[in-house]
Chain A
Amino acid sequence: MSIKKVATQVISIIAAAVLLGLTANFMNPNGVKITINRSAGQASDDALFQHGADREMNEPIVINKEQLKKLLAAGDIIIIDTRSPQEFLHGRIPHAINIPFEMLDQAIATIDSMEKTSWIVTYCDGPPCDKAQHLGAMLSDMGFTRVAFYDAGLDDWKITEDIEE
């Protein structure tokens, strides 16, 4: 077979893959956003699972759904839902506890009882909600060293995962 025919096959296969890949990614809720950089502060898996265990962080890192699922599977994680109690009761990420951002004063005892080195993940509904980000920053200021912020929030979680009611 001539080199030209082999090259045609290779190019056709790659072209088909590009077409199918872009179409499938566009329709997939777990699709990848084509971007030059990770979203600001987005953690790599290394930060979470390799160096993270020994690293003290001064500010919360941003994690995505897959990383949250990995943290959940690894255990030893506290998930904080920062929405209102009514919203929390209506549906939440499994194993989450509720610390409404507006009712932080009443949750000081709960926060004090947490291990400073445990992984703590905060979330709310997702953009434009920023309560989880603010609580994450406050927890970091209070000396918690492994704080993560699931910025896509419950709106993103419930696309593919079960919620607890």
Chain B
Amino acid sequence: MKKVLLLFVRILLGAVFIYAGAGKIINPSAFADAIDNYRIAPYLLVTIMAIILPWVEVIVGLLLVLGRWLHGSSLIIILLNIVFIIAMSSAMFRGLDISCGCFSLGGDAARVGVIRLLEDVVYLLLAIVLLRSQTSDQVHQ
């Protein structure tokens, strides 16, 4: 039962990150605008993140779905979600009403808010569960 649950978590998290990254790969300039709206990073870093981050998301998503390199991909998802949570909390604290840049980047893009923040917390917890399960599996072996 535990293995089935972990498989479900792995595939779910992988699919979420593939979906999130794919939309941004198609339109990196829109993603750069979304990052820039947070006003927390210099524009050079914004452009570099806009180019690389979506591919990181897609690669770790694929690795999770395929069940390969689970330690590395889970760890990256944990780090990414910590960054996302800090960025979003900071935007909310400063009262910025901006699109979160999470999935869709068009006019219908979701705004920064509590629901998006909670979503990231859930993804963070799921990634921690995955990483811990890998570590404990190895201890048992």
Contact = CB atoms under 8 A, between A and B. Distances in A.
Judged by DSSP, the binding face of A is helix
A70 B99 CA distance: 12
Interface of A: 1, 5-6, 8-10, 12-14, 16-18, 20-22, 24-25, 28, 30-38, 44-46, 50, 64-67, 69-70, 73-74
Contacts of B60: 13
B29 A64 contact: yes
B29 A31 contact: yes
Contacts of A6: 71-72, 75
Contacts of A21: 51-52, 54-55
Interface stretch (B4-12, B36-44, B82-90, B116-124): B36-44
B72 A20 contact: no
A5 B107 CA distance: 42
B33 A45 contact: yes
B92 interface: no
26 contacts: A1-B71, A1-B134, A6-B72, A8-B72, A10-B72, A12-B69, A13-B59, A13-B60, A13-B73, A14-B56, A16-B59, A17-B52, A17-B53, A21-B52, A32-B47, A32-B51, A33-B47, A35-B43, A35-B44, A37-B43, A44-B33, A44-B37, A44-B39, A46-B37, A66-B30, A74-B107
A28 B28 contact: yes
Contacts of B34: 45
A34 B33 contact: no
B107 A17 contact: no
Given A46-B37, A74-B107, A34 B47 contact: yes
Nearest to B56: A17
Contact of B32 (A10, A14, A32): A32
B20 interface: no
Given A10-B72, A12-B72, A46-B98, A17 B30 contact: no
A121 to B, nearest CB: 16
